[in-house]
Every structure is written in structure tokens, then in C-alpha cells.
Amino acid sequence: MKAVIYARYSSDNQREESIEGQLRECTAYCVKNDITILRTYIDRALSAKTDNRPDFQRMVKDSAKGLFDVVIVWKLDRFARNRYDSAHYKALLRKYGVKVLSATENISEGPEGIILESMLEGMAEYYSAELSEKVIRGHTENALKCKYNGGTPTFGYVIDKDMQYQLDPRTAPVVLEIFTRYDQGATMKEIMEEMRQKGVTTVRGKKIDLNFMARLLKNRKYIGEYSYREIVTPGGIPAIVPQDLFDRVQKRLAGNRKAPARHKAEDDYLLTTKLFCGTCGAMMVGESGTSASKGRKYHYYRCVNTKKQKSCNAKHKSIRKTPIENAVVNAVMAKVMDDNFVEYIADTVMDIQTRESSVLPALRHQLEETERGITNMLNAIQMGIINASTKQRLDELEDRKADIELQIIQEEMKHPMLTREDVTYWICRFRTLDVSKLEERRRLIDSFVNSVTVFDDYILITFNYKEGEERLDFTDIESSDLQSVGGPTLSEKPSEMAVFLHLSLNFIGIYGPWRYNMGVASVSEYVASLNEEQQRHTCAFIEFMNAEYPQLTNKISFSMPMWLVGKKMNEGYVAVSAAKNHFSIHFSDEEFLNDLAESLPNCKKGKRCINIKYGDEQSLRAVEESIRDFLKIYGSEGSSSR
């Protein structure tokens, strides 16, 4: 019998068995009952109340492949706390011939086993609901008395020993001043800057930001209104702001929401992290400036060494943004529209998949040899050639066959294969892009361009495939514009496209530093796409960054979890990505990265990143400590202070 193990741990219930404990007991159960374990699925710090469990959903999806017979859980409440969800997913698994077994709950087959299983699931659901109800009941009792119900205290108030709200003599006047200044016509940004200059911080000691300002100006607690769920008590707590002042502020906030934006959004620089100076090798970053005579705004890329050390003597220390971006987009579209290019990539992928999956052909060859040996032994037995050694040899061959078949299954689960149709379809999709749209131009560049290097007389575009380069003269660049390029109508998605879209950019070495997880839209999607080891280390770093630096903006950029020091990447960033044997911490500052790499002998420096081997905790701690130093380089808005 072949099985997989599913384990889940909820961080809000410390009494539950740890992941390691669950795996240990499930493994012992499998050994005792002669069950073969193919793999494990683990969701850490996730509740069974939600379907947003990446590995659980992956397990359900894998059950359709017919690779395993049972799912082993420590207890049934690890599978689902809601009996209706439990019944739904168990029915889905049964459809594919898969059962759910508990390693610690002895449930027999037959009607009595069904009753017991339902009872255990019902008890788990009841316990969860009862606990939630008790918490709500306690909070409701507090709310009726206008008492503090936990969480971060509201700015402007302190909580006394009786859990009642009292005015904070230090911060309550600040709240009133903020409301008054906004009512007088000051913007939230202006007020924020004023408060920062005065040293005002949040309850947690962090710098105040625009989100803090927006929440504060909308908070009805400041007019004395206490609220919890459906309970609203006017005058339940001391008021800081008069009602008429609060109403005027809300009116102005509503008017500002309807008004057009004060300024246009800042331009995006599509070649950020990909554009380099050919003279000194430094990165070129996006900047803008305004003409003193005509007042016209210009956008361009500039070598960072001309900003910091003034050491670069390149002919083109800066280059206009639009012409070079247009030239790169046109060069990529020319490749995509070339059928020979499509065929080359498809051929390369097929070849590399074969080489990358060399384990499978070897295993299949071993299986054929073993089966041939078994056939020979059976023929010998039929001819009457049988003795103790014959029987022993046959048993050995049968055991070896079972072991090889298991290895083949495990390898197939690790390396789903792409078809030639998948590869061709994915590339041809780019032919239909509207290259006048920012996001579609960005997608094109991110997918196919590794780097762009600016030399004195030409630029060199390096594509994300072997020996993929194109040289463009500056006359070609200056004349570039975005002309519409037509393309063929695509056929329907192939049946395995869902798998392909996840793996298409992982062309096993064809694609450059941004080849992994190109299609993810959120941090959770990125984490879900990783294997168990990658998830463990990446999640730990994400939790560290979010806990230590909550003021930083966290987003997916270049399909990696990234923390922006400023509002955009060219203002500084820290990012993390996972590879096969290591994970990488990316920094926007090359000089800082070089200094860091010198202090870490066990780590290799990559392109704008430091690579940390899985398990190298000493280097990881050193990198984490260095992040604080990295942030000191930048001001509050992310502009370099060097």
C-alpha cells in the first residue's frame, strides 16, 4: 500500500502536536502496518477552517494521478475541523480510490467505524466552535462595560488597571492637533512630516506614516464612541475630538477620495536591475529631471557610479528612458515573432528535460533488467530447475522490482514533464501582447531579457537563453518606437497547461536569474510553488522581515517577495528567492553587497544577491543582522544618504 502523510500545525493552539511529532507518529504507523510512504504534505501555521492550505490542495490534486492509496494524518482534525468540508474532501479522494487514515485513532471498518469517525470530527468541530464562542462571549461582556478587549491600544489612550480607556496626557493632545491641522487645510503628508520632526511615534514606537494618519482621522473612538461587533456605545470612552471638528474632517476626507489624484503616478522604469554600464559594470537606475528653460520633465537611466563616487568615465553616463526601453521591447518581439526562435526554445527544452530527468531513464532501464531477470527465473522454475538459491534469488528480484517502481513514482512526482506543445503555446502567447501597455511590456522584458549593457557605441541585449545576444547601435535606439505587431490566433489551452504555466519559466537553466515562479501574484502563491525545504527557509526569512521591519512595503516584484525601502525598486530593496540548494537574499546596493560577501566565506555572491546554503544558520544570522545596517544607508523615503 502506498501512502502520503499530511501534517498541519496551527500557531494559535500551542497544545497541538508539532509537525515533527505528527510526522514521527504517522511514520511509525506506516512502518507498523507495512505501508510505503511516497512523500509528505505540510501546512505550517494554517487553520483547517480555511481552504487556503497550499499543500493540502496540492495533495488533493495529486490524488487524481493515482500514485497513492491512502492519506495518513496524525488525527482526523488535522484533515478538517468542519465535518462538511471533511465529507466533501473525503468524497473527492474516494473518487480517485484514496482513503484517509488516522495514525492515533483506531477506527474500524464498517458502520461502527463511520459513526466513530463522524463523532471524532464532530467533537473537534464542537471544540473549535465552543472555544470561539467563549472568546466572543468574554469580549462581549467587556464591550458592554466599554472595557479594553486586547490588541494594540489606540493612539491617544492608555488602559488603566480596570481595563478602561483613559486619556493619555502625552499623546491625546497630538490627536487633537492632527485633527485641527487637517481641518485647517494641511495635507496628511504635511502633518506627518510635522509630527515626525516633533519625534511623534506610534504606540509600538514606529515612525508614523500615511496609513497611520488615514486610520487616525477616521477613528470614531476619538469622539468617545466605543464599538465591538454589533455593540456601539456613544460616550463609552473619553472623547478627544469635538463632534463638529470630527464631522468637518470626515467631510474633507470624503471630498478628497472623489477628487482626482494630486500628482500622476511616478513613471516605472522597466529595465531596473537589468541595465548596466559597459564601462564600469555598475547598475544604471532610473531618474527624472526638469528642464530649467522649458520646464519639461525628462526620464532617463543613469550609472550609479556617476552619482556616488563620480568615478565612471563612460561616454553615455545617462541614456533616455523611452528610446532604450522601446528598442529592447522591439528586439524581444522580433525574437518572439521568429518561428525559428520558437522551434529553438522548444528543442532546447525537450533536450534539457531529457538530460535533467536522466534518473528516470536509468531507473526504467533497471526495471527492464530486473523484469528480465524475474522472467528468466520463472522459466527456470518451469523447466524444473529449482532449489533454495533459486527461490531466494527470485525473492530478491521481486523486492528490487518493487523498490525501483517506487523510485520511478517518486521521481515522476518531482519532475512533471512539459510537452513540446506546451512550450510552443507559452511562447506564442507573447505574440498577442499589446506592447503599448506598461504591464505587458514589463512581462515581455522580465520573461526574455537577462541584461542590457550600455557601451560607448552600442548596447548589448543578453536574452534568457544560451548564446542569446543582440547588438544595437545608438542610431537604432533613437529611432525606436512601439509599432503594433500582429500575431496568430492561439488555439485552446492544452490539457496540461495548468502545470505548464507554473513551470514554463523554469526551463532548467535556460532562463536567467529571474527564471523561477514568474507567474506568481502574491507571497502566498510564491511560497506554495516551493518544495518543503525551500518553504521552510523562505517562510522563516519572510516572517523575520515582516516582524522586524513592518514599516517596509512588502510586495511581489520580479516574482519574488520584495521589501521596498522606498516607493519603487530604484529607491532600494531587499528580496528573497529560493533555488535548488540555496536561497538568495537580494540587495539593491552593489557596494553594500560586495562588503557583505567578503565577510561571509561560506556564501557565494550572485548577481545582486548573496546565496546561502540551506542549513547555514550562521551565515543567515549574519545577513539578517546586516539588513539593519543596509537600511541605515537610506532615508525614511528610501533615498540614499551616502
> pLDDT per residue over 343-355, tens digit each?
888 887 777 666 5
Predicted confidence band of residue 357 (pLDDT cuts 50, 70, 90): low
437 has pLDDT over 70: yes
Region 333-359 average pLDDT: 76
pLDDT at 236 > cutoff 60: yes
**DSSP string covering 101-116:** EESSS---SSHHHHHH
pLDDT reading at 628 higher than 60: yes
Q: How many angstroms separate the CA atoms of 187 and 167, rounded?
A: 26
**What's the average model confidence in pLDDT over 84-95?**
69
Helix (H) or strand (E) holding 8: strand 2-9
Is the sign of the CA dihedral 628, 632, 634, 640 positive or negative? negative
**Whole-structure pTM value:** 0.36
> What is the band of 475 on the pLDDT scale with cuts at 50, 70, 90?
confident
Of 170, 467, 254, 196, which Cα lies nearest the Cα of 341?
467
Question: Taking a C-beta distance cutoff of 8 angstroms, is the pair 40, 532 a contact?
Answer: yes
pLDDT at 176: 94
Under the banding of pLDDT at 50, 70 and 90, the label for residue 642 is very low
Nine cell digits for residue 443: 512581462
CB neighbour class for 357 (10 Å; exposed up to 12, middle 13-18, buried from 19): middle
Among 81, 95, 73, which residue's Cα sits nearest to residue 48? Answer: 81
Q: Mean pLDDT, to the nearest integer, of 469-494?
A: 54
Residue 11 CB partners (closer than 8 Å, separation 6+):
44, 45
Residue 587: φ, ψ to 5°: -125, 145
User: With bands split at pLDDT 50, 70 and 90, how would you rate the model's confidence at 485?
Assistant: very low
Q: Kindly tell me the sign of the dihedral angle through the C-alpha atoms of 498, 504, 507, 508.
A: negative
| Residue 180: predicted pLDDT | 93
Write the pLDDT tens digit of every residue in 545-557: 888 887 787 777 7
Q: 226-241: string of b/e by CB count within 10 Å (b at 16+)?
A: bebeeeeeeebbebbb
Q: CB within 8 A of 455, min separation 6: which ones?
A: 278, 279
pLDDT computed for residue 292 by the predictor: 62
What are 599-604's contacts with CB under 8 Å, separation 24+? none
Q: Which pLDDT does position 353 carry in this prediction?
A: 62
Residue 116 is predicted with a pLDDT of 45
Q: Is the pLDDT of residue 49 over 70?
A: no
pLDDT band at 539 (very low <50, low <70, confident <90, very high): confident
Phi, psi of 195 (to 5 degrees): -65, -40
More confident of the two residues 567 and 420? 420
What are the C-alpha distances in Å from 396 to residues 36, 37, 249, 367, 475? Answer: 18, 21, 83, 13, 73
Q: Which of 200, 208, 218 is nearest to 256 (CA)?
A: 218
Pull the grid cell for residue 570. Answer: 530604484
Determine contact, residues 7/75, Cβ cutoff 8 Å: no
How do residues 404-413 score in pLDDT, each as one tens digit?
877 777 666 5
Whether residue 569 contacts residue 610, with contact meaning beta carbons closer than 8 Å, is answered with no
- What lies within 8 Å, CB to CB, of 291 at 6+ separation is 297, 298
Q: Which DSSP category does 431 fall into?
A: G
Does an H or E element contain 298, and which?
strand 297-303
Query: Among positive and negative, which fits the CA dihedral 378, 380, 383, 384?
Result: negative
Q: What residues form DSSP beta bridges with 463?
A: 449
Q: Which three cell numbers stand for residue 57?
A: 490542495
Strands ordered across the beta sheet of 70-73: 36-44, 2-9, 70-73, 99-102
Q: What is the CA radius of gyration of the chain?
A: 31
> What is the CA angle 304-310-311, rounded to 5?
90
Label residue 414 by pLDDT band (50, 70, 90): low
Q: Is the pLDDT of residue 247 over 90?
A: yes
Q: How far apart are CA 609 and CA 541, in angstroms?
A: 15
Higher pLDDT, 353 or 481: 353
Least confident of 250-259, 496-505, 611-620: 496-505
Residue whose C-alpha cell reads 529611432 in the numeric block: 479
Q: Is the pLDDT of residue 510 over 70?
A: no
Contact 278, 454 (CB under 8 A): yes
Grid coordinates representing 557 are 516584484
- Alpha-carbon distance of 367 to 369, in angstroms, equals 5
Residue 187, classed as helix, strand or coil, is coil
pLDDT recorded at residue 413: 58
Mean pLDDT value across the chain: 75
The predicted structure's pLDDT at residue 18: 75
Q: What percent of the chain has pLDDT over 70?
A: 74
Task: Name the strand (E) or helix (H) holding 167.
Answer: strand 165-167
Is residue 175 within 8 Å of residue 237, measured between CB atoms?
no
Residue 54 pLDDT > 50: yes
